[in-house]
Copies of this chain bind each other. A is one copy, B any other.
Amino acid sequence: MQSVGGAEPILFVHSLFLSYIFTVSTINSHSDMARVYIEELSKHVGEEVAIRGWVYNKRSSGKIRFIVVRDGTGLLQCVMVKGMIPDDVFNHFDSLTQESSLTVIGKIKKDDRAPGGYEMELSNLQVISIAKEYPITPKEHGVDFLMDHRHLWLRSSRQHAILRIRHQIITAIREFFDNHGFILMDAPIFTPAACEGTSTLFETDYFDLGKAYLTQSGQLYGEAGAIALGKIYVFGPTFRAEKSKTRRHLTEFWMVEPEVAFNDLNDNMELAEEFLEHVVASVLKYRSQELKTLERNTKFLENVKKPLPKISYTEAVDILKKKGISFEWGNDFGGTDETVISEQFDRPVIVHRYPAQVKAFYMKRDPQNEALALAMDVLAPEGYGEIIGGSQREDDYDTLVKRIHEHGLPQSAFEWYLDLRRYGSVPHAGFGLGVERTVGWICGLDHVRETIPFPRMIYRLTP
């Protein structure tokens, strides 16, 4: 019984609309009672504790009143029986609206039937603030309505689960690189030129220096970092002013981009699969409860173990042709093509050696076939498409100059980048993983808009 918007069914026996009032908390009288969060209750069974939170749900049954309280870390059912506690406390029940803030005090007992597994025998209740009529109700809300109320929508169990999994993914990403000797290398957001053309760039005035462009990728800076420090990762927001309204596009999204000196394409693919295995395993291990909340079938996630299947672009084209899709060798895959290819596998698949003509100027060509770039993409299963794109980089000075000119880019803007080939050039490779697409895939979401707290899209800049 999950509405599309994620507001869980809620039963208000007395759904009064009360005017907005602010009641000064009297929590001070309990200041000797340590603050406890619901997620820590297993350590407090049998104790009297104070929990501060919000009314998530309430119901009434004869002389018994149930209040489900959320505190951001979990849900706790609080029970009070008329006559067992002072009337002035008991009578607060009627005034409590959804999302009203309060302190509940009482003894904790284990109860497997209760949400979260614990229950409070309420002995005191202090109202902090009675909420106005809450806009998000159990009825089905349209997506626009929920997005307009994103700051409130974030309070639902579904959004909590997604944000916790997002947090786990980002933690696991950093953990992987930190434990493998990579140094964090924050690339600049303001850049003087485009990495891959200027048509999809956001620009801003930059004092007397003309225009600055918001980064689309930290990769070129990451290459400087890899030659300086051996192994680095860039991790920050990136921006694309694409006029795409698909379920996979945000204008602002987070990307992690490792870059390793002396790595070739094979090393790069191995790094990607080891990395993905770690990230997915970390979510399966630490966020199983959240995956359950999202009703995520984890069968394919459990398959994410190295080695992942690897096919060449040409083999991928053959798959499309066998599926009766008209596709000409040499073109880039569209979203639908990626979906069809990835659906042939029960785990992520690595596609390598793309036609150079559809890839960026900085990619090294395959010495076995100059028409191919030493590129790799990782396509997520279940139709989620590309989550990783990477390559071995061109490390020969003359060849790189030639590519810059072939792509119609101004050499002057890339002199610093060419320096990396003038002074101690080495083979090197790296990739970028899009955080939001990865969150979408691991959570099993239909649309990337729920993967980040406040998504930005072509038609969405608020709240």
Interface residues of A (CB under 8 A from B): 20, 22, 25, 35, 37, 39, 52-55, 71-73, 99-101, 128-129, 131-132, 134, 149, 151-152, 154-155, 159-160, 163-164, 166-167, 170-171, 174, 178, 181, 183-192, 202-209, 212, 214, 221, 224-231, 236-237, 239, 241, 243, 251-252, 254, 261-262, 395-397, 416-417, 419-420, 422-427, 452-456, 458-459, 461-463
Measured between beta carbons, the chain B residues less than 8 angstroms from A261 are 52, 72
**Which single member of B203, B224, B397, B463 contacts A154 (CB below 8 Å)?**
B224
**A228 in contact with B188 given A207-B459, A209-B459 (CB within 8 Å):** no
Residues of chain B within 8 A of A426, CB atoms compared: 52, 101, 128-129
* A263: nearest chain-B partner, CB-CB: B35
8 Å CB contact of A236 from B71, B174, B236, B463: B236
Interface of A is mostly: mixed
**In the bound complex, CA of A189 to CA of B254 (Å):** 11
B427-A25 in contact (CB<8A): yes
Q: How many angstroms from the CA of A183 to the CA of B422 in the assembled complex?
A: 44
Which residues of B lie under 8 Å from residue A53 when comparing CB positions? 230
Whether A228 contacts B159 by the Cβ 8 Å rule is: yes
Name 13 extra pairs, CB < 8 A, besides A20-B422, A52-B426, A163-B183. A22-B397, A37-B181, A72-B226, A100-B424, A101-B425, A131-B424, A134-B423, A151-B419, A154-B228, A163-B185, A166-B186, A202-B205, A203-B205
Contact B423 A71 (CB under 8 A): no
Residues of B within 8 A of A72 (CB): 183, 226-231, 261
Residues of B within 8 A of A454 (CB): 187-188, 221
The complex places the Cα of A185 from the Cα of B132 at a distance, in Å, of 26
Give CA–CA (A149, B454) in the complex, Å: 37
Shortest A446–chain B CB gap in Å is 21
The answer to whether residues A186 and B452 also contact, given A174-B171, A426-B128 and a CB cut-off of 8 A, is yes
Q: Give the distance in Å from the alpha carbon of A395 to the alpha carbon of B101 in the complex.
A: 12
Is A453 within 8 A of B187, CB to CB?
Answer: yes
Cα distance, A203 to B164, chains bound together (Å): 31
CB nearest neighbor in B for A426: B101
CA distance A20 to B418 in the complex (A): 12
Pairwise interchain contact B37-A425, C-beta atoms closer than 8 A: no
The answer to whether A416 touches B204, judged by C-beta atoms less than 8 angstroms apart, is no
CB neighbours (8 Å) of A184 from chain B are 166-167, 170-171
B167 touches A183 (CB 8 A): yes
Given known pairs A134-B423, A163-B185, A419-B151, the reply for A456 and B20 (CB within 8 Å) is no
Q: How far is the CA of A356 from the CA of B456 in the complex (A)?
A: 34
